[in-house]
Amino acid sequence: MHAAALGTLLFSAALASGPGATKPAGDPAKLVVTVNPPAAAPGQQVEVVVRVEPNPGIKVNRYPKMKLQVPATAGLVGEAEVSVGASEMPPLEQAEQNYYKTVDPVTVKVSVDPKAPKGAHKVQAKFTYYYCVAASGYCAPERASLTIPLQVR
């Protein structure tokens, strides 16, 4: 097992203490996806922005990092990926430092294929982040499938 994975497991286990640590119902956060500029020409780059809006009582972790992955789609967009957050976990006695007070948007530049057809397209992406429930101490990864609205002019 990799050291980082083991550290994550131990960190999550330490935070998810007690028999009352349960997964919340529904999604832990609302994910809002925007594209700038809203309409792009073939061959242009767009900036994809994901805003994480945690539900009440949810804390989003700095470690492990949030990760946005946009796989290449032939004839439409090139592959892009970004990770945002802390490279290592804080000491357990400073666990509160691991949570965002306000979550910064996650942004990645995506290249539109020079031969991309005009019109509205839906680009699939994956977004992963870790969160904890303040009341119970339950911590877990969240893996979400996103749809990026791409308008090619």
* Residues 47-105: tens digit of each pLDDT: 999 999 999 999 999 999 999 999 999 999 999 999 999 999 999 899 899 999 999 99
Residues 6+ apart with CB under 8 A from 91: none
More confident residue, 117 or 9: 117
Task: Report the SS3 class of residue 141.
Answer: strand
For residues 82 and 108, the answer to whether their CB atoms sit within 8 Å is: yes
Query: Residue 31's pLDDT is what?
Result: 98
Compare 10 and 49 and report the one with higher pLDDT: 49
Rounded to 5°, the CA angle 101-104-107 comes to: 165
Phi, psi of 47 (to 5 degrees): -105, 120
Q: At 10, is the pLDDT very low, low, confident or very high (cuts 50, 70, 90)?
A: very low
The answer to whether residues 112 and 42 touch, using CB atoms and an 8 Å cutoff, is yes
For residue 1, pLDDT over 90 is answered with no
| 83 CB-near residues (< 8 Å, 6+ apart) | 65, 66, 67, 68
Given CATH 2.60.40.10, say whether it is the number of domain 3-152.
Answer: yes
C-alpha distances (whole Å) from 20 to each of 10, 24, 137 are 18, 11, 8
**Mean pLDDT, range 125-149, rounded to an integer:** 96
Domain ranges within the chain, ordered by starting residue: 3-152
